[in-house]
Structure 1
Amino acid sequence: MNKRIVFSAAIGIIAIGVLWSKAEALTHSKPETAPIVASPSTKPTPKPSPEPSVAPSGGPTEPTKQPIEEPSVKPTDKPTGKPTPTGNINPPVKQPVKPADITALLAANLPELNFKKDSDGKIIVTNTSSNYILVNKKRMLSSTYVPKDLTVPNVPFSFSGSSPKKQMRREAALALESLFKAAKKDKIDLKAVSGYRSYATQKSIFQSNSDKKGEEVANRTSARPGQSEHQTGLAMDVSSASAGYDLVEKFGETTEGKWLAKHAAEHGFIIRFLKGKESITGYSYEPWHIRYIGKEVAKDITNKKVTLEQYFDTISATVNK
């Protein structure tokens, strides 16, 4: 009886000790709300990039520097002639020449500013290198003048073989090529007949015409030596098969002659000796004789339907107001 009591008491004591130990362990353990350390991510760490990265949704503690982009010029931008944002300069847009600009252009080439008198009192022109030179019966070239840049334009001629009269000054020759190219495109058959003539050649021509027709008639249809535009290298006589490639007034009534009168100025030429202006030019109407003077001035003269003499008179009056 006593042994059972003792055994039961021992078991009870042991049970109480176990319960007491568990209670102590629970009392001193860490709270369940303690932060949990996240396990390392299995995703690879991105390598640094020289390019700016996109900020996370929360935003970085310091502002991210963005690259400064230079503005670019679109291919469709129209050239303005001013520096572009990238520093390049586009070719300027060619604007139409205004009358005021033409006046300024010709101011230095006015006839009254460009001459000298020889020992005989004749007026000798001095702006021989200019496209705006005025040569007529009152204003002459010297007997020794020869243009320095004579060349043969690549156009069809009414005759074969080489000849000085195939020549023109270079700028005029290039303009003649442009004129003939446009004529061919419009199915107009033109041929060059006579360009540059020296002082000596013109002297021979005038003398021959004078012997055949008399000096008075010859003076209306051909120039005296020194008074011919052909010596400047800026003039060319043009004809067509419909006129027999002759230099005759009826050329002006042909399809080719009408086309020439309408389109010559587009390439820098004027019909120098107009119909009804004989008293001003001193020469009969010559629809075949074209004179190079540059596109802007040629168009202005043609639109005004005046002679080169009248045109310069107007410019002179404007400048000298």
Structure 2
Amino acid sequence: MRKKRWTYLTVCTAVLALSIMMAACSDGTMKGGESGTKAGGSSQIDPVTSNNPSGSQGEEELADPALAALVNKTHPLQNSYAPDDLVAVDVPTVFKNPEVNQLREDAAKALKQLFDGAEKKGYKLYARSGYRSYETQQALFADYVSREGEAAANRYSAKAGQSEHQTGLAMDVTSDSVSKGLQEAFGETDEGRWLADNAHLYGFIIRYPKGQEGITGYIYEPWHIRYLGIELATKVFESGQTYEEYTSGKQAK
């Protein structure tokens, strides 16, 4: 018990330092792109069943069904879930924290291609926060609650188990035009517009679109991208729907 207590305190200390750094680089209105999901969840992203859009459309199953997993406030992850193929991203980053500079291998490769594509158009992007463990998210959310209350924190941050960051398939992206922070204004920058228009070409979607808080559960986050693979990401993009709507089987004909 003593060892477990000290381990938790160590994690909390590290996460508090990370959250302070995140807030320092933000404009104070968006608190670090914490969009996510729910503590003590029961679903593991292994074989994706009802949350697999491929299955709901009668299409061929994805090679890796976990890529299509819907993770949100009602579809949480187990606290024990951690990807087994995390790698360090090979792109410019904001923080030195090794945990948040990781993604699953396929997502990391796609992120590199996305950043290279942006650079060819004259836009420099930065990776700000990728993978976060259950414990990291738990401490981060608790810190936001202590500062602003649970109701406020719930709009922009995920409870542990409810965060897409735990999947290793999500990354918060930023630019110099917003001082490497996470601001809604990023969506109106040249970099943000390019990302919104082209992310799907590299297998990503803007996960929390503007005006869809009632569906996604989170405020507009033009910086938060989720890897689905090029084919699925393109279908979601072309549908004009949130991922919640798309996976519900209500795809536009």
Please confirm whether the aligned pair reaches a TM-score higher than 0.5, indicating the same fold: yes
Map 1:226-241; keep pairs closer than 5 Å.
226-241=161-176
Query: Deviations for 1:135-194, whole angstroms, at most 9, x for unmatched residues?
Result: 1001111111110000012101123x3511000000000000000000110010100000
Query: Deviations for 1:235-278, whole angstroms, at most 9, x for unmatched residues?
Result: 00000010111111111111110010011000000000011111
Structure 1: segments with no counterpart, 5+ residues: 1-117
Equivalent residue for 2:208? Answer: 273
2:84 aligned partner, one-letter code: K
Structure richer in helix, relative to its length: 2
Cα distance in 2, alignment partners of residues 306 and 241 from structure 1 = 29
Equivalent residue for 2:56? Answer: none
In 2 relative to 1, CA 192–126 (structure 1 residues): closer, same or farther, beyond 3 Å?
closer
Report the count of equivalent residues: 198
1:124 aligned partner, one-letter code: S
Contact 1:123–1:138 (CA under 8 A) maintained in structure 2? no
* TM-score, L = length of structure 1: 0.59
Equivalent residue for 2:106? Answer: 171
Cα distance in 2, alignment partners of residues 162 and 222 from structure 1 = 19
Query: Deviations for 1:94-136, whole angstroms, at most 9, x for unmatched residues?
Result: xxxxxxxxxxxxxxxxxxxxxxxx9x8x542442761011110
Identity of aligned residues (%): 47
Query: Is residue 184 of structure 2 the alignment partner of residue 249 of structure 1?
Result: yes
| 1:314 aligned counterpart, secondary structure | coil
* TM-score, L = length of structure 2: 0.74
Equivalent residue for 1:157? Answer: 93
Cα distance in 2, alignment partners of residues 241 and 310 from structure 1 = 33
| 2:173 aligned counterpart, secondary structure | strand
Structure 2: segments with no counterpart, 5+ residues: 1-38, 48-63
What is the root-mean-square deviation in Å for CA atoms of aligned residues? 2.0
Query: Is residue 84 of structure 2 the alignment partner of residue 148 of structure 1?
Result: yes
| 1:164 aligned counterpart, secondary structure | coil
| 2:246 aligned counterpart, secondary structure | helix
Map 1:6-45; keep pairs closer than 5 Å.
none
Contact 1:125–1:135 (CA under 8 A) maintained in structure 2? no
The alpha carbon displacement at 1:303 in A equals 1.4
Cα distance in 2, alignment partners of residues 188 and 211 from structure 1 = 37
| 1:124 aligned counterpart, secondary structure | coil
2:79 aligned partner, one-letter code: S
Map 1:76-87; keep pairs closer than 5 Å.
none
In 2 relative to 1, CA 206–188 (structure 1 residues): closer, same or farther, beyond 3 Å?
same
Query: Is residue 62 of structure 2 the alignment partner of residue 127 of structure 1?
Result: no
Larger Rg: 1
> Taking CA–CA contacts closer than 8 Å with sequence separation of 6 or more, which of the two structures ends up with the larger relative contact order?
2
Determine which of 199, 224, 248 is the counterpart of 1:264.
199
Contact 1:240–1:256 (CA under 8 A) maintained in structure 2? yes
Equivalent residue for 1:282? Answer: 217
Equivalent residue for 1:139? Answer: 75
